[in-house]
Amino acid sequence: MSQVFFENLTGANCHLSGQAIVALRVSEDVDADYDTASVVCIAPGGPHAKGAVVTTTEGGTSTGQWEVEDPIISQSGEKTWRRKDGSVNYAHIPLVSYKLRRAGYMRARSTLSKQVVGADNYPPKFCTMSRFAAITAGLQQLVTDRLIDVFEFQKQRSAWIPVHGAEYIATRIAGWVGLSCSFRARLTHCADEYIPVDKPAISAIREVASWSGASVLLDRSGTLQIFNWQETFGRGGSNPALPAITEYERHDALSSINHVTVVGVTYAPPSTRDVYGNKLWPLEATEQLALASSERIVSERIEIRTYPITPNLAQSLARERLARAYLQGNASRWIGPAEGCQGMRPLENRVLSVTRSLGWNGRAYRYEIAVKAARGAVSFAGSGSSVGGWW
Amino acid sequence: MTVHTHGIEKAAKADSEKLPDVSGTKITYAGGVECQITVTERRNDEPTITAGASVTVGGRTGVCESAQAKLLPQYKLDGAVVWETQHVLAVDGDTV
């Protein structure tokens, strides 16, 4: 296939917040925590500072905001010592290489430490309203039994943050780190207790979302989008409909795993709990993909021991894990000219990943896009869960 | 011994590249300039040649990048056969 160059792309419409782009590679992937970009620019005024929020403009169209992770000044006698046209003297071309992360990166990666959540909320201890009622009843029993006094009762009770559901946890965590979030899906399942001490905010929110089979993605403006993974990508048949295609690949691979077991503990029914409202039962949930002929079980075991879970939560977790594994091997990939496709991105276009590259060959830019999208719908063969068994 | 300068060639070469600019106009950046003088001499005795050192040939001085001598038996100079030498000299500076 021939390479495509665009004469109408210039330094005036391909820049990083005013710095002409010499080379750009952007990766927007629904499976990655953050979109990343590496850019080489001509920066006569000096590089953008680390942490600065910058905007990429490709062909006159904004392709989102980024935070500068690492600005690298590159000087080389061989490669950059040049005399600019019209100038008498030699000087280094002001080339700067940037590593960029999607806007919101610094907030999303900040850990839920005492400084971030505040001393009053540390350690962050979330529980459902029903669990809060049980905790309160248990503490009251302790007071009645004179094992703790009223002050200890109030202290222990107020250490918990009761929530109506997982959405409240996600919103609260996002609020602590100053991240705005948008719900494209309801988070229907919630663990009874969740204590995300010193976890990165995005990891904690991703974990909370995964209870309902959902996931998170920082969009181009730095807003955390919470979406149902399987609902968005698991139906298959996505075609990004690029204006022109220079390469096409279609994968139909064996899934890396086809069976997932989630193991944890869950609160026993109230009638079976002890006098303080505590009793945990073991829980196991399994999900399986439809198998190809002669395919054997390849299982993955997910153990959650740090907090109690529910059967529905475990099942959603297993399904999301399986759907991701299945679509990794059952996707199509299109490559073509990127002009006119600047808006193509995961979530908005139901594609799994987008990679754009913009390169300067000395005369013109070469601009290309590669898009990966789900090919076939995920089909599950069976599921099951049991509570109270022994394993 | 008779020597005369038979030819001189001058060359200046620079690598250049165009890079994009936010103005929308491409800007040319030139790399280092390499200047060379190629001096051809003819003489009627066999010369000794060397390269890598600073030499003066035909009134031009520079670092000898290459030198070669060739016998031209069909020509005579003052009754002796002609030797032709060619020195490629690298000279400092952007102009030559």
Q: For chains A and B, count residue pairs whose Cβ atoms are closer than 8 Å.
A: 58
In this structure, the strands spanning B54-57 and A353-360 are: unpaired
Helix, strand, coil % over all residues of chain A, rounded to 5: 20, 35, 40
> What class has domain A5-84+91-103+335-372?
mainly beta
Report the pLDDT value the prediction gives residue A4, as an integer from 0 to 100.
54
Please determine, for residue A207, whether its predicted confidence score (pLDDT) is greater than 90: yes
Please determine, for residue A390, whether its predicted confidence score (pLDDT) is greater than 60: no
Return d(Cα B96, Cα B91) in angstroms, integer: 8
Q: Are A246 and A336 a contacting pair, CB within 8 Å?
A: yes
Band of pLDDT at residue A51, cut at 50, 70 and 90: very high
> B22 contacts in A (CB within 8 Å)?
11-12, 15, 18-20, 42
Q: What are phi and psi of A286, to 5 degrees?
A: -125, 150
Report the pLDDT value the prediction gives residue A60, as an integer from 0 to 100.
93
How much is the mean pLDDT over chain B? 93
Q: Are A208 and A215 a contacting pair, CB within 8 Å?
A: no
Please determine, for residue A387, whether its predicted confidence score (pLDDT) is greater than 70: no
Contact B27 A14 (CB under 8 A): no
Is any Cβ of chain B less than 8 angstroms from the Cβ of A19? yes
Question: Residue A58's CB: how many other CB atoms inside 10 A?
Answer: 25
User: Mean pLDDT, to the nearest integer, of A44-69?
Assistant: 96
Domain range list for chain A? 5-84+91-103+335-372, 109-233, 253-330+377-387
Segment A178-194, tens digit of pLDDT: 999 999 999 999 999 99
Most confidently predicted of A319-328, A345-354, A374-383, B65-74 = B65-74
Name, in order, each residue with C-beta under 8 angstroms of A139's C-beta and a sequence gap of 6 or more: A148, A153, A156, A157
Percent share of chain A, pLDDT over 70? 96
Band of pLDDT at residue A389, cut at 50, 70 and 90: low
Which of A195, A33, A215, A187 lies closest to A117 in space, CA to CA? A195
Residues 59-98 of A with CB under 8 A from B: 81-85, 90, 93
Report the pLDDT value the prediction gives residue A5, as an integer from 0 to 100.
62
Please, what is the angle between helix A129-144 and helix A150-158, to 10°?
170
Report the pLDDT value the prediction gives residue A2, as an integer from 0 to 100.
46
Please determine, for residue A348, whether its predicted confidence score (pLDDT) is greater than 90: no
Compute CA distances A6 → A9, A57, A136, A340, A364, whole Å: 6, 15, 67, 12, 6
Q: Does domain A109-233 have CATH number 3.40.190.10?
A: no
CA–chain centroid gap for A182, Å, is 13
Please determine, for residue A16, whether its predicted confidence score (pLDDT) is greater than 90: yes
How much is the mean pLDDT over chain A? 90
Strands lying side by side in the sheet with A181-183:
A181-183, A224-228, A214-218
Helix H, strand E, coil C: the string for B18-30 is: EECCCCCCCEEEE
Burial of A158 (0-12, 13-18, 19+ CB in 10 A): exposed
Distance spanning both ends of chain B, measured CA to CA: 30
User: Mean pLDDT, to the nearest integer, of A232-254?
Assistant: 86
- Identify which has the larger pLDDT, B47 or A239: B47
The tokens of B47 are what?
């010369």
Contact B20 A83 (CB under 8 A): no
Contact B27 A365 (CB under 8 A): no
Does a cis peptide bond (omega within 30 degrees of 0) precede residue A123? yes
The tokens of B43 are what?
């003489």
Please, what is the angle between helix A201-210 and helix A311-329, to 10°?
100
Whether the CA torsion A192, A198, A201, A207 is positive or negative: it is negative
> B13 contacts in A (CB within 8 Å)?
none
Return d(Cα A70, Cα A282) in angstroms, integer: 46
The tokens of A322 are what?
């399986």
Comparing alpha-carbon positions, the chain A residue that sits nearest to B15 is: A82
Could you give the dihedral angle defined by the CA atoms of residues A315, A319, A320 and A323, in that order, rounded to the nearest 10 degrees? 180
Radius of gyration of chain A (CA): 26
Comparing alpha-carbon positions, the chain B residue that sits nearest to A82 is: B31
Please determine, for residue A241, whether its predicted confidence score (pLDDT) is greater than 60: yes
Segment A244-263, tens digit of pLDDT: 999 999 998 899 999 999 99
A5-84+91-103+335-372 with A109-233: one CATH topology?
no
Contact B32 A81 (CB under 8 A): yes
Contact A85 B27 (CB under 8 A): yes
Q: Are A320 and A207 a contacting pair, CB within 8 Å?
A: no
> B32 contacts in A (CB within 8 Å)?
81, 90
| From B22, B24, B27, residue closest to A84, measured CB to CB | B27
